[in-house]
Amino acid sequence: MTAFAFIAATVFGTVARDTAKDRVLYGLKVFAEFMVIGLALGWVLYFLPF
Amino acid sequence: MTQNEIGPGIQAWIMGTAGWIIPGAGHMLQGKWLRGIILGAAVWICFVAGLSMGGHLFSVSGGDTSLSTLLQVPPTIANLGSGILYLVCWFLGFGFADDPTHAALATYEYGNTFLLIAGLLNYLAMLDAFDISAGRKP
B59 by DSSP, 3-state: which? coil
Write down the pLDDT at residue B101.
79
Q: Cβ distance B30 to B131 under 8 Å? A: no
The reply to whether residue A7 touches residue B117, judged by beta carbons under 8 angstroms, is yes
ipTM above 0.90, yes or no: no
On whether residue B22 sits in a domain, the answer given is yes
What 8-state DSSP symbol labels residue B131? H
Range of the domain at A15: 2-47
Write down the pLDDT at residue B1.
47
Q: How many domains does chain B have?
A: 1
On whether residue B3 sits in a domain, the answer given is no
Taking chain B, what is the end-to-end CA distance rounded to the nearest angstrom?
21
Q: Which residues of chain A neighbour B35 with C-beta distances below 8 Å?
A: 14
Span A1-50, pLDDT tens digits = 999 999 999 999 999 887 889 999 999 999 999 999 999 999 999 888 87
A14-43: b or e for each residue (b if 16 or more CB lie within 10 Å)?
A: bbeeeeeeebeebbeebbeebbeeeeeeee
On whether residue B138 sits in a domain, the answer given is no
On whether residue B51 sits in a domain, the answer given is yes
Q: Cβ distance B23 to B85 under 8 Å? A: yes
User: Is a pLDDT exceeding 80 seen at residue B65?
Assistant: no
On whether residue B121 sits in a domain, the answer given is yes
pTM listed for this prediction = 0.87
